[in-house]
Structure 1
C-alpha cells in the first residue's frame, strides 16, 4: 500500500482484531511497514525459518512505494534462482517492458529493480529461508548473524496428473505479455527521451542481464548500441554536409555514383567496431586470467 491508499494521513489508525483474542489493536501506516519488514524475522514453532512468498500481481498496476523497494533489496530473490526457461523469457521481457522503459526515461534505477518488476508482474513465487551462523564483527568480536537464502519454487516445474506443468499458466502469461508488447509497438526509438544517455541505457540493460549472459555477449550488445548511436549521428551529419554542398556547388563535376562512398564509410565503421570489440574481449579475458592466477 502507498500512503495515498492508506487514507488522509499516515498517522490515521486502523483496527486489527486478533481472531482468537478478539481484542482490537490500533496501528497506523508506519506500524504496517514496520510489521512488513519484521514478519520474516519471526521464528516459527518448527524452527525451520522458511517462508513461501508470492506477491499479488495487482501491485504491478500501481506505483510501487519506495519502502517496498528497500524491502526487496533485503528479502527479494536474485535472477540466478530462475530456471533456464524463465531466464530466457526474462531476457526477452527486459527489452520490451514498457514500465522498465519509463523508469529509464525518468532515471529511476537500482540493482535488482528489473527482477522485482518481473517477479511482481507475473506473480512468481519463491521460497526464502534463513539460518543463524557464528561470525565475527569488523572489530573482531564474535557474533551471531542471520543468513538468508532464496530458491525457486520447484513445484512450478513439476507436472500434474494431466502431464502439464504446474507453472504453465505463468509461462503462458509471460509469452502473451511479451508478444503484446511487441505487437503494440510499446517500445520504440521515438518514445525514448532525447536526454536519455544511450550508453547509460545499455549499461543498465547489461546490469539487468548480469549473471545470465556471458562477458562476450555483453560486449557484443554494448558495441551494437554504440554502432546504432554512431550511425544515427553520422547519418545526420552526412545529410547536413550533402545539403550544404548541393547549395554551394556550381559546376557539374559531381557524379551520381559518388554517393556510394557512404556505404564504404559504413563498412569501415563496421570493421572498426568489430576490431574494437575483439580488443575488449581479449582485454576482458586477460583480466580474468590474471585474477585466477592471484587466487
Structure 2
C-alpha cells in the first residue's frame, strides 16, 4: 500500500514509519501540518523565516527546518530581500516564495488547457481583437459583483482599494491593500487564470481596466503572477477619484468590437 504524496506532507510521512513507530509517525504528521501552514502563509506572498516564525509562534531556526524540506522538494524558492536603507551586518535576508508547482498543488487549474485551446481558436479564426472582447465580457460579471460591494466605500481611491481587496478575496483572489508613500498598493496573491493569462495578456489587461474603473482613478500594474511574479501588484497613485462623468468608460461590448469598421483615407 502506498500513501499518496501531498504538499502538506512533502514526502515526510512514510508508510513504514506509520506502522513501525507511533512516536515518529506523530512527529512526522506534526511536521507535515506545520509545513502546510508555512505553504499557506507563502501563498499570500514572499516572507522571510523570521516573518513566518512570528506568525506561527516558532523560532526562525524551527521554521528553516521546514523551509529546507520544502526547498528540497522544489516547493519553495528564495529571493534576496531588497533593502531601502543601509545594510547591516551578516548575510542578506532571504525571502521564500512558492514555486509554480506548489501554487498549482494548492490551487489546481483543471481547465487551463481547454481554456487556452479555446482562446487560441478564437484568435486564429477571429483575430486578437476577439480575444480582447472575450476577456472584457468575461471580467464584466466580476466587475458588477465587486461594484456592488464598493457602494459604501466612498470616493477615496485608497478606501475603495481596501474594499475591493475584500471583494476580490471573496472571489478567490486572496487580495490585500496597503498604503505606501506614493499612494496605495493592491496585491492579489492568487490568480485563477494565471496559466492562461501567461499566453493571453488580454486577460490581465481587462482586469487592470476593471480595477481602474472600480477604484475611480488611473492605476498601474507593476507585477503579475502570469509573468512569473509571486504576486499581482497594482499601484494606486495619490489622485482624487474620478467623478461619474470622467471615469474611464467601460470596454465596448464583444459584438461591437467584432464588427467590421471602415477606415477613410484621403485621396
TM-score range, shorter chain: under 0.3
- Structure with greater proportional helix content: 1
TM-score by length of 1: 0.23
TM-score by length of 2: 0.25
